[in-house]
Amino acid sequence: MSGDERSESGRDRIDDAHVAALLGLPGMGPVRARSLLVDRSPVEAWTGILRGEVPRETAGLLGARRSEVLGGWRSAAATTDPDRLLERIEDMGMRVSRHGQAGYPTQLLEDPDPPVAFFAVGADLLVGGLPRVAVVGTRRCSGYGSDVAIQLGRDLAAAGVVVVSGLALGIDAAAHGGALTVPGGAPPLGVVGTGLDVVYPAANRALWHRVVSAGQLVSEMPPGAGPTRWCFPARNRIIAALAHVLVVVESHAGGGSMHTVAAALERDRPVLAVPGPIRSPASEGSNRLLADGAAPACGVDDVICALGLLGLS
């Protein structure tokens, strides 16, 4: 490695460290973080926060709570060492990739709401040619929905398709559980709404570790970040963006899966829905998608066909 390459590598590490530190500040979401980094390096943004200075755009996003939020950021930054934070991240086996830098998913580069950075652990499933299908649905699923999700996850993995989901209870867990039963099948991809060291929900701890061992887990949340109300809708947009096709197995009328559907449609991802019993509240949302024109997913062949229409089968 030449001196220039070593220097560039060193600058990248410094920027990685400061981006991770920025994302760990209290109340720091993707929109606020992006506003801090417009025409500023991560180091410059961090230094500004330590001085109590932020761009006008950022200040406008904070509204009436500006002084409170800036005070919280400044206090937290004063006790955070970005370099030590990056060392801790690497000691946990995680990787950090910033927008536009090596390792950042190309699928998100032109996204309307891209993460400032990505944290990942496990294999890299976002490079190469494997097709990816998101299988999502309600946490309060029926036995029918769970069985369908397990079978769909198993059949997709056996067909060489990466199953993407959010590692939530219910349909998400069932789909990944099915995918993990296939020897030599396509590895699973989990997109979570907490730091990669914060298992949520705790009931999925064993599944979480199986996904890491067999595939990949990613998040835009830094280590230590626990669950918040906004992090799961934010996670859902990433699930939609990383998948080539979205399948809703079972969803209540106002379920969180509908956020994922909206994000998928915004990104021109095909949306399929599994038909469910007309008297089941768990299928009310997914059946409504069918009534509104979504293609039915009656089995893995329907999903493979949707991938084929994209040239990915």
Gap between the Cα atoms of 26 and 10, Å rounded: 27
The larger pLDDT score, comparing residue 124 to residue 112, is at 112
- In this prediction, residue 8 has a pLDDT band, given cuts at 50, 70 and 90, of low
pLDDT by residue (tens digit) across 191-239?
Answer: 999 999 999 999 999 999 999 999 999 999 999 999 988 888 899 999 9
Specify the residue for token string 């998101």: 134
All residues at 6 or more sequence positions from 254 whose CB lies less than 8 Å from its CB, including other chains = 285
Specify the residue for token string 């730091």: 195
**Got the DSSP string for the chain?**
--HHHHHHHHHHHHHHHHHHHHHTSTT--HHHHHHHTTTS-HHHHHHHHHTT---HHHHHHHGGGHHHHHHHHHHHHHT--HHHHHHHHHHTT-EEEETTSTTS-GGGTT-SS--SEEEEEES--SSSS--EEEEEE-SS--HHHHHHHHHHHHHHHHTT-EEEE---TTHHHHHHHHHTTSTTPPPPEEE-SS-TTS-SSGGGHHHHHHHHHHSEEEESSPTT----TTHHHHHHHHHHHH-SEEEEEE--TT-THHHHHHHHHHTT--EEE----TT-GGGHHHHHHHHTTPEE-SSHHHHHHHHHHTT--
Which amino acid would we find at residue 308?
G
Whole-prediction pTM value? 0.93
Q: Is the pLDDT of residue 46 over 60?
A: yes
Q: Is the pLDDT of residue 262 over 50?
A: yes
Question: How much is the pLDDT for 2?
Answer: 47
pLDDT by residue (tens digit) across 131-147?
Answer: 999 999 999 999 999 99
Gap between the Cα atoms of 285 and 171, Å rounded: 14
Percent of the chain with pLDDT over 70: 96
